[in-house]
Amino acid sequence: MERLTSKQKIDLNLKIRENTPLKPLTTIGTGGPARFFLACASNEDIIEGLQFAKSRGLKVLVLGGGSNVLISDDGFQGLVLHVTTRGVSFDSGGRVTANAGVKWSEFVQSCIDRELSGVETLAGIPGLVGATPIQNVGAYGQEVANVIEAVQTIEKSTLLPRTFSAKDCRFGYRQSRFKADDLDKFIITSVTFRLSQTQEPEPRYEELKASLGLDPAWQTATRVQRLNLMSAHVTKIRASKGMVIDPRDPDTKSVGSFFMNPVVPQPLKEKVEGIAAAEKLVRPFVAHHVGNNLWKLSAAWLIESSGINKGQILAGAKVSTKHVLALTNPGHASTKDILDFADFITTKVEQKFGVRLEREPVVVP
């Protein structure tokens, strides 16, 4: 491949770097370098980067916070666009627009500071705003699909802006058009949310209810105080599972939850329930009805009940010591090590229960 000269870089007025390590830009710390790399502080940078890639026939990878991605050990042989656009705007009616490069945790807190509800249980989730619509980020009873009003994008093929309404995004459980039919077709530049100025925050999950129930401040708290308490307790719970990025905690050197909770038809749910009853497993079997004779099962329960333990090691990869849903890089793991361990777990679960687990992170070949 043709190597850029210094003159070409100046002529393009772009700060394109070559053979740039990507490990430091991912939370799991694996993967090879980018052949070409551009930090994009504006939408104009994104467009110019796309023009550069198109003129040279390069593939493009958009990288945000690196919290939900596994990059090949061979690296990426095209152009990596590292989105760093910042800025959040609020109107008087609860509408909030945030650029794609805004840190999600900072965005959540800024909404709480303005007494807006709708994202408080999504506190502590790593990554950037631009990534949240792609997999419809959700936790403890809230999903971004419930509060997104519009998603602004740049279409890669035309370099033109295009806006999608929430309905047009085709959101599903950890799913959207940007992760399915339109994978790799658009670059999200900003997201507009419609949050509530009056809705009272109420915990929906038992784990969160239990945590708040032990806090004497919860019962007498005002609405604004409850927003902050909800966020704080969610973050505390996530941290206890190694799901809040902390350089001091090796369990957070991961991509977060590696597997999605599977949604299965009634007969398969009954099969799993029967196996659980016959084996008298220590952890009780729990399934949540989601309609149309479909049931959501716990991926963590399936993994543990298949004989996978916290702290278990295979080659260079390790299961988190806090939560079996997370695969970690304890030191010098490769992306292949992580994926091999994931395949091992998937096979164990399928052999025992007949349930096929789906991965949550994006794998970049």
Query: Are residues 80 and 63 in contact, defined by beta-carbon separation less than 8 angstroms?
Result: yes
Query: Are residues 135 and 175 in contact, defined by beta-carbon separation less than 8 angstroms?
Result: yes
Our answer to whether residue 360 is catalytic in this structure is: yes
Our answer to whether residue 162 is catalytic in this structure is: no
State residue 122 phi and psi, 5-degree precision: -100, 15
In this structure, CATH architecture of domain 251-364 = Alpha-Beta Complex (3.90)
- The tens digit of pLDDT for each residue in 3-19 reads 444 444 433 456 899 99
Query: Are residues 281 and 237 in contact, defined by beta-carbon separation less than 8 angstroms?
Result: no
Give the pLDDT confidence score for residue 252 in this predicted structure. Answer: 94
* Domain range list for the chain: 6-83, 88-240, 251-364
Our answer to whether residue 55 is catalytic in this structure is: no
How many other β-carbons are positioned within 10 Å of the β-carbon of residue 271? 14
Q: Does domain 88-240 have CATH number 1.10.1030.10?
A: no
Record the pTM: 0.89
From 95, 162, 170, 174, the catalytic residue: 174
What 87-95 contacts at long range (C-beta under 8 Å, 24+ apart), as own/partner pairs, is 90/114, 93/197, 94/194, 94/195, 94/196, 94/197, 95/149, 95/192, 95/193, 95/194, 95/195
With H, G, I as helix, E, B as strand and everything else as coil, classify residue 12: helix
Query: Are residues 338 and 240 in contact, defined by beta-carbon separation less than 8 angstroms?
Result: no
From 117, 231, 257, 305, the catalytic residue: 257
Distance CA 143, CA 174 (A): 9
Q: How many CA atoms lie within 13 A of 250 on its CB side?
A: 12
3-state helix, strand, coil in the chain (%, to 5): 35, 25, 40
Q: Class of the 6-83 domain? A: alpha beta
Please identify every stretch of the chain with a pLDDT value under 50, giving residue numbers as ranges: 1-12
Give the pLDDT confidence score for residue 14 in this predicted structure. Answer: 60
Give the pLDDT confidence score for residue 9 in this predicted structure. Answer: 45
Domains 6-83 and 251-364 alike in fold: no
